[in-house]
Amino acid sequence: MAIKVINDKCKGCTICVKACPFDAIEMKGKIAEIGAACTACGVCVAKCPFEAIEKVEDENDNGVDLSEYKDIWVFAEQRQGKLMGVALELIGEGYRLAKEISDDTKVCAVIVGDNVAHLADECYAYGAERVILIEDPLLKNFTTDGYTKVLTDAINEFKPEIVLYGATHIGRDLAPRVAARCNTGLTADCTRLDVRVSSYIDFANKNTTLDTSTLDPNDPDTGIKQTRPAFGGNLMATIICPRFRPQMSTVRPGVMQKREPVEGAKGELVEYKPTIAAADIRTEVVEIVKSAKELVSLTDAEIIVSGGRGLGNEEGFALLKDFADHIGGVLGASRAAVDAGWIDHSHQVGQTGTTVKPRIYFACGISGAIQHLAGMQGSDMIVAINKDADAPIFEVADYGLVGDLYKIIPLLKEEWDNADALFDASAK
């Protein structure tokens, strides 16, 4: 759709100029003129008191027939025959969305690789109603060219309504390439997905920031609202993709909740034979080398001990590492500590690091910037240690300790041992 000014009706009142959220309208000779920045959001149409602005069909608008697309696909990322945790989280989220859309909508796990059929049962257990299996020896290891081609071909054939990826290194590489080939939009690093039971579909952009005041509650279309942090995490933007399909999102690991697995659950298996040749892949995986930083498994940790700028120096992480090892935890860090060079980025928790949901999260010397909170506030229990009693971290903490962490950590370690001894004694 496009926006058109009816010159004979325009009175030059400038109401539309002031109302346009994209500064796309200017006055030319007391007549409103629509500029290139227009997204056809329709605000000016609603605001014009003289009905001098209307929406018209745009001959360049290549939106698709939405009725052809159905079901929710989850890219079930696997590495060396093992499913990634984010894939299981997204299957659960996809299941929730599918049930809210309609009884006929199914959540489908898409497994790409070679000799990975055994992963289907795990997908069923976590909520997948259908597994689309794409196997070929050329797909044994992830390559951008190979996975992009076979996934794009499968999407074009089956036409899913929604495709979800984990915001991992692989997902962030694969998703935008598939979206570009499918001529659709992509919302990256989502923290929330909701069913949009109504939509204002007259947007020209593939992905458009949603103004919920423009939604028609009587419109039966069921897209999704994709929410992600914007402007450095200072606000949350809700994005929609109303005229193109499939709707695509990458979701950070640790954000969504896994469903409780149902042992023995079964579903439909669809074996899709890909059309791929060695010439389609421009790179070759010669060797896979696991570095030490890959051993930091923040997303799976039940206890995380994180340090920030309040440590004062990198030596402070030796104290935290000793405490984390003692209580069976993993070492984390804020961005400030990473930027200072005190610890490797693989330990970073937050919007630009890893999103975590451990049972216990110790925030030591961390003030609580919104970017850090976005990555850990879903923890079951948050224990904050900081000299500043007014630090923002205390607003989300379940337990707050105001004082010198170098004195408090040894005391916590001692109390932890006492608690273990008390538990062992009571068990006897």
Amino acid at 165: Y
Residue showing tokens 């989280």: 89
Q: Residue 350: its pLDDT value, please?
A: 87
Closest by Cα among 301, 274, 215, 210 to 247:
210
Q: Residue 56: its pLDDT value, please?
A: 80
Q: Residue 355: its pLDDT value, please?
A: 84
Strand pairing report for 130-135 and 107-113: parallel
Q: Residue 191: its pLDDT value, please?
A: 84
Cβ-Cβ contacts under 8 Å for 163 (sequence gap 6 or more): 72, 73, 74, 75, 155, 175, 178, 246, 247, 248, 249
> Which range is least confidently modeled, 10-14, 192-196, 424-428?
424-428
The token duo for 43 is 């605000």
Q: What is the CATH number of domain 66-280?
A: 3.40.50.620
> Which range is least confidently modeled, 86-100, 182-196, 233-247?
233-247
Tell me which of 311 and 61 has the higher pLDDT: 311
293-427, what's its fold? Rossmann fold (3.40.50)
Q: Residue 202: its pLDDT value, please?
A: 36
| Distance (Å, whole) CA 410 – CA 112 | 48
Query: DSSP 3-state assignment of 391?
Result: coil
In which band, very low, low, confident or very high, does the pLDDT at 57 lie, cut at 50, 70 and 90? low
Q: Residue 152: its pLDDT value, please?
A: 95
Q: Residue 374: its pLDDT value, please?
A: 82
| Distance (Å, whole) CA 126 – CA 120 | 10
Residue showing tokens 């992480």: 317
| Distance (Å, whole) CA 164 – CA 106 | 13
Amino acid at 223: G
Strand pairing report for 247-251 and 162-166: parallel
> Which residue ranges make up each domain of the chain?
2-56, 66-280, 293-427
Q: Residue 381: its pLDDT value, please?
A: 94
Bond from prior residue into 246 cis (ω within 30 degrees of 0): yes
Say if residues 42 and 202 touch (Cβ distance below 8 Å): yes
Average pLDDT, the chain: 85
Tell me which of 354 and 19 has the higher pLDDT: 19
Q: Residue 197: its pLDDT value, please?
A: 58
Say if residues 47 and 16 touch (Cβ distance below 8 Å): yes
**E strand map for 208-302:** 208-209, 223-230, 235-240, 247-251, 268-272
Does this model's pTM top 0.95? My answer is no
The answer to whether residue 140 scores a pLDDT higher than 80 is: yes
Instruction: Decide if 66-280 and 293-427 have a common fold.
Output: yes
Q: Residue 225: its pLDDT value, please?
A: 87
The answer to whether residue 36 scores a pLDDT higher than 60 is: yes
Closest by Cα among 334, 383, 335, 321 to 358:
383
Q: Residue 233: its pLDDT value, please?
A: 62
Closest by Cα among 302, 328, 306, 296 to 380:
302
Cβ-Cβ contacts under 8 Å for 75 (sequence gap 6 or more): 87, 90, 110, 112, 151, 163, 164, 165, 166, 171, 174, 175
Burial class (CB in 10 A: 0-12, 13-18, 19+), 194: middle
Q: Which helix (H) or strand (E) holds 331?
A: strand 330-333
Closest by Cα among 123, 65, 89 to 193:
89
| Distance (Å, whole) CA 248 – CA 163 | 5
> Percentage of the chain with pLDDT > 90?
51
The sign of the torsion formed by the CA atoms of 177, 183, 187, 192 equals negative
Q: What is the CATH number of domain 2-56?
A: 3.30.70.20
